[in-house]
Amino acid sequence: MLQVRYDINLAPEIKENKIDIIKNEPFTVWDADVINIQKQKYYLLVEKDTSFPILLTKLDTKLFNDVFANAIKSYDFILFKQQQKLVSVVKSKQMSFYDTKSQASLMLEKICKLIEDNQNEYLNLIDVVKDEKNMVDKLTVMSAAIFALDSQIGQNFISKMIDEVSTYFPIKPQKPNRRYKYVDLVPKFEDFSNFEKYENKPVKGNEKIVAKIKENNQKLIDQYAKYVPAGIGYLQPDQMLPDYLNHYLLRNKIHLVTNDLGEAISYLWIMISNNKLHPLEIEQITNTLKNFYVFLSRVGLIRKTDSKEIGMNIDWVTEEINSYSDQSLDEDLINDMIAAIEANPKKILKLEDLDLSPQDLSRILEGLRKDLESHDKKQKTRKKAIFENQTRNRATYEIRVKLKSFKPSTWRRFIISGNTSVKTLEVAMLDMFNADFGHMFDLLNKKTQERFENVESIAEAEDWDPATGIDYEKAKVSYFEKGDKLLLTYDYGDSWEFEVDIKNITTDQAAPKCPKILSGKSYGIIDDIGGVWSLQDYYDTPKDKVDPEMIDLLMGGEAINLDNFNKEELNQRMEQYKN
């Protein structure tokens, strides 16, 4: 239940849904006040524990739910599973009001004053959404822009959000059975289950227990250091891991390495975001974390599937953060840099002043040459091709997608806007079949032989043909015509194939904001099971004959019912793919 505390400023507006007692549950208690921005009235809500600010145009539960969900989905320092849990818990059917009979909370007052004292700067920040017709998107940006006015408030919010999410919505790993083949190392440290009763207790006041946990963490680090040879770089595992285990995880409350898999992601996010790190340093940090969690599976602290999931999430958050910095180097700037280099090739010789070895200099120049060739190819391809049909951008596409070579038939029929990128189309279709996105994928037009894929991956492939290879981010669904038959391929090892048919294109109704599944049958796929033939074997095998280790490794310990099709749950998932 959404509980809103208000004072005398809002008292005249509150007539219904009053309550006498506040239930202190996570993310449900908010302080509210009125604020004027450009002579327009807004309601500012600030969450009690994290100072999470939300701006609304009206005190409406649905509007609050939508803006909150939109904001949460933009926070890369929180795992997607945790985002889903948080949105689900906070989502309310009713907004209840509690009269504080006093002044507003200190943080609410501080944020109101911050906006009022920095109106010009704030208006410049939100200028990008002044003409935005989608009110939810507009309010989300306006709410997030508050942090840009005071970096300290923003940093405190992120720190508190991470603490609250880890405390109330942890992604708990499961401990594997030591008979599993991958558990092949004998622990040289005390079992962490001995400390679980202290999880989420404050560090202050529990110094003796914290000291024991730190000592045990160091034993874990020492064993890992012997398991992984020292690398080359500024930050060795025996330097970084104490910072992660003995400082970050024990900063406020007692958190163990087995407490929450999301902690590794938030730590990595903070390390990259708050420090000016060289790409090689970032790579070293990510590799250390991924290797460390593989090691944790080998000593029996977490499952192998947990370590794989952490690895994929680490790659994802690194890519997301890097994309922010990539955006600052726009196309014009890159073109100017390349033109300057081509016009003044002798200036490259100044690299010699950097005291590089001949081998390093050779690698840099060779990399630059490949980058220039790749860039030139991409530019020529972009200039020639337009991968959309503007008249169909507003159209509604009805599409049917079916898993090949599997019985019983597993399929989805859905509608999607023509203005959607082909990348989103591919990702949404895979999500409909419960893929976990740990592998590459592409979409092939059988008639034209055009292949829509990740240009960053294919640009490095020697066999990539610019005439048929298309960046899936630069193409839209409107590029396809009624009757087109496409082939979606996922995981080039297991080689999952999906037949995609463009059934119909209509303009007699507004296009959906996100993909919407109309009907379907069966569950989908199970990643890393070995492809469609192994999936068929699993389906045909009696339940009591299925290998329990496979269930534990690939399905999280609970057998998946391949006959299950949950349209409501899948459509809820589709909401993240809004245009």
Query: Do 252 and 145 sit in the same domain of this protein?
Result: no
From 363, 384, 405, the end of a domain falls on 384
Contacts of 77 (CB under 8 A, 6+ apart): 158, 161, 162, 265, 266, 269, 270, 317
Query: Do 523 and 566 sit in the same domain of this protein?
Result: yes
Examine residue 512 and say whether the peptide bond preceding it is cis (omega within 30 degrees of 0).
no
Strands 2-6 and 29-37: parallel
Tell me, what CATH number does 502's domain have?
3.10.290.30
Answer yes or no: is 268 within a domain: yes
Instruction: Give, as one character, the DSSP assignment of residue 500.
Output: E
Taking the C-alpha atoms of residue 86 and residue 380, their distance in angstroms, rounded to an integer, is 45
Query: Do 77 and 216 sit in the same domain of this protein?
Result: no
- Work out how many domains the chain is built from and give that number: 4
Taking the C-alpha atoms of residue 528 and residue 333, their distance in angstroms, rounded to an integer, is 42
Query: Do 528 and 495 sit in the same domain of this protein?
Result: yes
Answer yes or no: is 183 within a domain: no
Query: Do 249 and 364 sit in the same domain of this protein?
Result: no
Q: Where are the beta strands (DSSP E) in 448-533?
A: 451-453, 469-471, 485-490, 496-506, 516-521
3-state secondary structure of 188: coil
What's the pLDDT at 308?
Answer: 85
Answer yes or no: is 185 within a domain: no
Taking the C-alpha atoms of residue 123 and residue 401, their distance in angstroms, rounded to an integer, is 45
Query: Do 121 and 9 sit in the same domain of this protein?
Result: yes
Query: Do 299 and 361 sit in the same domain of this protein?
Result: no
What's the pLDDT at 18?
Answer: 86
Query: Do 151 and 66 sit in the same domain of this protein?
Result: yes
The list of the chain residues with pLDDT below 50 reads 230-234, 326-333, 351-352, 354, 382-383, 458-467
Query: Do 504 and 437 sit in the same domain of this protein?
Result: yes
Taking the C-alpha atoms of residue 295 and residue 299, their distance in angstroms, rounded to an integer, is 6
Q: What are phi and psi for residue 432, nearest 5 degrees?
A: -60, -25
Answer yes or no: is 41 within a domain: yes
pLDDT digit string, tens, across residues 251-300: 999 999 999 999 999 999 888 877 656 677 787 888 889 889 989 999 99
Specify whether the backbone of 146 is left (phi greater than 0), alpha (psi in -120 to 50) or beta: alpha
* Spatial contact of 110 and 303, defined as CB atoms under 8 Å apart: no
pLDDT digit string, tens, across residues 386-431: 789 999 999 999 999 999 999 999 999 999 999 999 999 999 999 9
Please name which of 141, 152, 140 lies closest in space to residue 114, comparing C-alpha atoms. 152
Instruction: Give, as one character, the DSSP assignment of residue 202.
Output: B
From 327, 343, 359, the end of a domain falls on 327
With 0.75 as the threshold, say if the pTM is over it: no
Answer yes or no: is 478 within a domain: yes
Query: Do 107 and 141 sit in the same domain of this protein?
Result: yes
What's the pLDDT at 139?
Answer: 95
What's the pLDDT at 573?
Answer: 93
What's the pLDDT at 477?
Answer: 97
Answer yes or no: is 494 within a domain: yes
From 360, 384, 408, the end of a domain falls on 384
Q: What are phi and psi for residue 495, nearest 5 degrees?
A: 55, 60
Q: Which two tokens stand for residue 238?
A: 């025996």
Answer yes or no: is 368 within a domain: yes
pLDDT digit string, tens, across residues 33-89: 999 998 899 999 999 999 999 999 999 999 999 999 999 988 888 988 888 889 888
Query: Do 320 and 335 sit in the same domain of this protein?
Result: no
Q: Which two tokens stand for residue 561?
A: 């019912």
* Spatial contact of 144 and 125, defined as CB atoms under 8 Å apart: no
Answer yes or no: is 177 within a domain: no
Query: Do 294 and 341 sit in the same domain of this protein?
Result: no
Q: Which two tokens stand for residue 118?
A: 């920095």
Taking the C-alpha atoms of residue 85 and residue 410, their distance in angstroms, rounded to an integer, is 28
- Print the domain residue range for 253: 192-327
What's the pLDDT at 560?
Answer: 93
Q: What are phi and psi for residue 263, nearest 5 degrees?
A: -60, -35
